[in-house]
Chains A and B, each alone.
Chain A
């Protein structure tokens, strides 16, 4: 188990290293920091001086070292547009995205597990078949289209829900949360449902197919032969085994969710990291782009590593070295 953990952590570190190199490469190639930070009405000489001061004439590995060193300390450069440290901008916008992902994940968890399990246990019921049918449709509608349709229906036609922004926020230290006000909840409802709209059918189908496969295994048949109740067989014997592969997939899907936040936040003008990213693209705000890459990269690597470690802990065949 320990060996497994160490190997996993090592792999994570390598990936983070690669990301940092890519981030550095982007930083060097996009935009001109001198121009952005000094404006146009500065003379050529002063510009060169500035360039020297910024250390932009040093060899690349020195610059990389500086970049990496700064990054570890949390300094990811200064945003061209906001004229503030990129890290600061990110931390300010992060709560919006994190809350969105959180509510969305809860929706997925809350619905996919019971629906998936039910449709595995009773695959031929009308409900299950309707569920499977609608889930194919769900997977075929892109996230942004769902978002737009919801806006059209609930905001424009029905006027029930607000179509943009986060609504009323409550500041908890540095974290602006929308989850403590009714207005905040009204605002987060549609975006989080839109965000979960592709993942939900995916998970339902995944859980269902995993569970159906598990239900065919010998040990389940044996459990029936022992006279165990339906409840016991389904929810203890089968369920535990179903969860294992789902955990792994879940981890990977989180990375995809981050991509989808960009799409969702764009539609709802949700002031989170995704929206910030799109703005940075438009404005060629390289430091912010790089900072976003680093942040997202580390989060994804972190989440994947944690998920793998959790899997290692939960699966007894890995946790305990087999004694032969």
Chain B
């Protein structure tokens, strides 16, 4: 049976087909992801091109409002940029940072978890202590601090240039303990099982055993954790940008847009905050719903019936 057939018969696919919410979330997510990937093709304007922006166009409401115009479907922001385009590009940045940060955390955390869990001893104790301490600190707090300090030290302009890699790094490095802990728990459980003993007796090196035998069994908790973490990463980046400690105003993410529109809601320009906000919520919500579905599917207790 090839892999595709195996998947078709798996419990995962079976449950997925029957769960309308999960299907809807996946569809929404795919639409958003594709929009983000193909942003240059889809967005009506390029929000980063100064030639296309005219300050005279600022604060035009969405097309369905009285003073709206057809060319700017969702209105324009305080700089005169088309909302729709800026939102799509902004979402793209949010997704890049979210996925990037989670990739970093996952690789780091999984490696640490695998080796610490398998070898045990002082290595394990050290990492788990470090993880404990790091977990007791709100990573958002740490991110805010690091961002603030960096901005103070290198200045706003330079900060804007390195914003994306910095955010990926900061959010990524702060969350490895989650992965490490989850993976380590799996490793500890698997380590006791006979197939590991058998492999060891057969002479496989520990790296081989870890990667080939134990690791595949830790995949489902990793998958569930990753969905939650992507959602968290996206929200963290949005929070940082909202505070002005994330993406700069000339390459805004959804958080920065919300920030720029905040003061304007008092004067009635609600769409600059509301629309990016809505998009952000839809993005995070669909990730969370998918994550919830995966968590239910992989929950062994559910097999009881």
Contact = CB atoms under 8 A, between A and B. Distances in A.
Given A148-B277, A267-B262, A255 B138 contact: yes
Nearest to A300: B137
B195 interface: no
Interface in B105-149: 129, 133, 135-138, 140-141, 144-145, 148-149
Given A140-B231, A142-B239, A156-B265, A259 B152 contact: no
Contacts of B152: 30-31, 281, 284, 286, 289
Interface string A17-38: 0000000001001110000000
Interface string B235-247: 1001100111100
Given A152-B270, A293-B145, A145 B288 contact: no
Contact of B258 (A144, A251, A277, A286): A144
Interface string B263-297: 00110001001100100110011001100100000
B153 interface: yes
Contacts of B129: 11
Contact of A281 (B138, B140, B151): B151
Interface in A116-153: 136-137, 139-145, 148-149, 151-152
B301 interface: yes
A296 interface: yes
Contact of B140 (A140, A256, A266, A300): A256
A238 interface: no
A277 B140 CA distance: 14
A156 B151 contact: no
Interface in A285-319: 286, 289, 293, 296, 300-301, 304
B300 to A, nearest CB: 12
B279 to A, nearest CB: 11
A136 B292 contact: yes
Most buried by A among B137, B140, B266: B137
A216 interface: yes
B141 A255 contact: yes
A136 B227 CA distance: 13
B153 A29 contact: yes
A195 interface: no
A216 B153 CA distance: 54
B270 A259 contact: no
State the main secondary structure of chain B at its contact with A.
Answer: helix
B141 A144 contact: no
A143 B239 contact: yes
Given A136-B288, A296-B141, A145 B136 contact: no
B239 to A, nearest CB: 6
Interface in A219-269: 251-252, 255-260, 262-263, 266-267
Contact of B135 (A252, A263, A296): A252
Contacts of A289: 148-149, 152
Contacts of A262: 144, 243
A15 interface: yes
Contact of A263 (B231, B242, B280, B284): B242
Nearest to A141: B281
A142 to B, nearest CB: 5
Interface in A51-65: none
B138 A136 contact: no
Nearest to A266: B243
A278 interface: yes
A266 B149 CA distance: 18
A198 B135 CA distance: 18
16 contacts: A11-B129, A26-B149, A30-B149, A30-B153, A31-B152, A136-B289, A140-B235, A140-B284, A141-B281, A142-B238, A255-B137, A262-B144, A263-B243, A277-B148, A281-B152, A300-B136
Interface of A: 11, 15, 26, 29-31, 136-137, 139-145, 148-149, 151-152, 156, 216, 251-252, 255-260, 262-263, 266-267, 277-278, 281, 284, 286, 289, 293, 296, 300-301, 304
Given A15-B133, A256-B141, A263-B239, 15 more contacts: A142-B235, A142-B238, A142-B242, A142-B284, A148-B258, A148-B262, A156-B266, A258-B141, A263-B242, A263-B243, A281-B148, A281-B244, A286-B152, A296-B141, A300-B136
